[in-house]
Amino acid sequence: MRVDQFNPHIDKEDVFSVLETLEDNWLTEGKKTAQLEQMLCELTGARHAVMVPNGTLAIFAALKVLGIGPGDEVLVPDFTFFGSASAVILAGATPVLVDVSLDDFTIDVDAADASIGPNTRAIMPVHIYGQSCDMQAVMELARRRDLMVVEGAAQGIGVTCGDKHVGTFGQIGCVSFFADKTITTGEGGALLTDDDELAKECVYFKNQGRIERGSFIHEKVGYDFRITDIQAALGVAQFKRLPEIVIRKREILGKYVVALADCTEVDFPDHNELGQVVPFRVNILVDDAEALAEYLASCEIGVRRFFYPLHMQPCMTEDNSLVRIKPANSMELFHRGLSLPSGLSLTDRNISYVSACIRDFLEGRDRAVGTEHTAELADRSAETHWTIP
């Protein structure tokens, strides 16, 4: 039995929406993109949403629009996708890497405070694995230390902190619609802001220095960061079933929790209860994530290790200025963390099989037992009635 770590879930309505756009013969940004931006505003409460090609370029655009560049520093969590830091470098600024909390994996505000230097101009809280940072603490720090806030909300669709959607606290929030995101456009991203002038600057930046297309008069220096209506059409269709997607993600997590309830060596990360959580991955913490990952791979189960700490990335280890306080927690999370298969099309039998393999490994059974024995366990346990804890 092969179980992939993640597969995008595309249904007939998604296909119909894309075909409809092709039949309309309007391929670049148009009414579908405008519709998707409006849906984003309605979901998040942001006054403006501006689509861009991907989440990394969303961060880059946000930084440039805010005037951050050479000589400036941006506080970035050490435990996040590489694009959070590479976007800062692309903007000409320096990412200062900050440790995260072991409780919720988000930026440690005290560590961020201690990492501020004379050239620090912004902080980038990243809402990780479908739950929010403590945005009250982040915003208090930003006000006290005169920092701009660029939110990394790539994994944050549907996620809230209190009664506000993530990505709407700082000057600009950055969303991703990559293939593994809660809603996908294949590739894609968006900028969220409540500031009318910033929103206009975002449009100038992404649309070759113009507000409207079709003109050869360019008021500012801008770039081509547009998407296509083909992508937006997929996003619009997926947006319409967002409530179903959220329910299914929670259901899958719940089934894993039940299936592995008797495995005392497996910890499911706690939620910080700051707001609504939309599980981005099914994550577990174990003592030897690397060994378990290798064993599951031998069982044809796709898993993913947690983020490799940014300060350990080969392209960053030579610059000592990127770290002021060694990020110990991000190292521990990498060594212990594992993301299990969590695609929406996962079956009960898939979950049972993955859980049985984990149990076999942790109980120290003969690794050569292989898939035959665990498939039997999966058949039996798939008959169990699952409930969400």
Kindly state whether residues 109 and 161 are assigned to the same domain: yes
The pTM score is 0.91
Q: 96: closest CA among 80, 120, 118, 71?
A: 120
Within-domain flag for 205: yes
Residue 363 lies in a domain: yes
pLDDT score of 320: 73
- Residues 271 and 316 occupy one common structural domain: yes
Q: pLDDT (tens digit, 9 = 90+) per residue, 298-329?
A: 999 999 999 999 999 999 887 777 888 889 99
Same domain, 149 and 279: no
Is position 136 within any domain?
A: yes
* 161 and 272 belong to one structural domain: no
Residue 247's pLDDT is 97
User: Residue 215: its pLDDT value, please?
Assistant: 83
> Is 389 a domain residue?
no
Which has more pLDDT, 92 or 369? 92
Asked which of 212, 239, 266 is the last residue of a domain, the reply is 239
Q: Choose the final residue of a domain: 206, 239, 272.
A: 239
pLDDT at residue 146 is higher than 80: yes
What is the model's pLDDT at position 213?
Answer: 84
Buried b (16+ CB within 10 A) or exposed e, 323-344: bebebebbbbbbbbbbbbbbbb
Q: What is the mean pLDDT of residues 203-222?
A: 92
Residues 107, 175 within the same domain? yes
Residue 340 lies in a domain: yes
Let me know if residue 333 belongs to a domain.
Answer: yes
Task: Please list the alpha-helical segments (H only) found in the chain.
Answer: 12-24, 31-44, 55-65, 83-90, 109-114, 135-145, 196-206, 229-239, 242-259, 289-298, 328-336, 348-362, 370-381
Domain endpoint, select from 196, 217, 239: 239
Is 386 contained in some domain?
no
Co-location of 16 and 74 in the same domain? yes
Q: Residues 87, 36: one domain?
A: yes
Tell whether 374 is covered by a domain: yes
Note whether 131 and 22 are same-domain residues. yes
Model pLDDT, residue 254:
97
Give me the domain span that covers residue 295: 242-381
Residues 219 and 256 in one domain: no
Average pLDDT over residues 8-23: 94
Domain co-membership, 98 together with 57? yes
Task: Reply yes or no on whether the pLDDT at 368 is more than 80.
Answer: no
- Average pLDDT of the chain is 92
Q: Average pLDDT, stretch 229-240?
A: 97
CATH at 135: 3.40.640.10
My answer on whether 174 and 203 are in the same domain is yes
The answer to whether the beta carbons of residues 14 and 234 sit under 8 Å apart is yes
Q: Is the pLDDT of residue 377 over 50?
A: no
- Count of structural domains, the chain: 2
Do 225 and 260 fall within a single domain?
no
What local confidence, expressed as pLDDT, does residue 69 receive? 97
Q: Summarize pLDDT for 248-302 with one digit per residue, the tens.
A: 999 999 999 999 999 999 999 999 999 999 999 999 999 999 999 999 999 999 9
- Give tens-digit pLDDT for 39-92: 999 999 999 999 999 999 999 999 999 999 999 999 999 999 999 999 999 999
Residue pair 184/178 in contact (Cβ under 8 Å)? The answer is yes
pLDDT score, position 366: 41
What pLDDT shows up at residue 369? Answer: 42
CATH label of the domain that carries residue 323: 3.90.1150.10
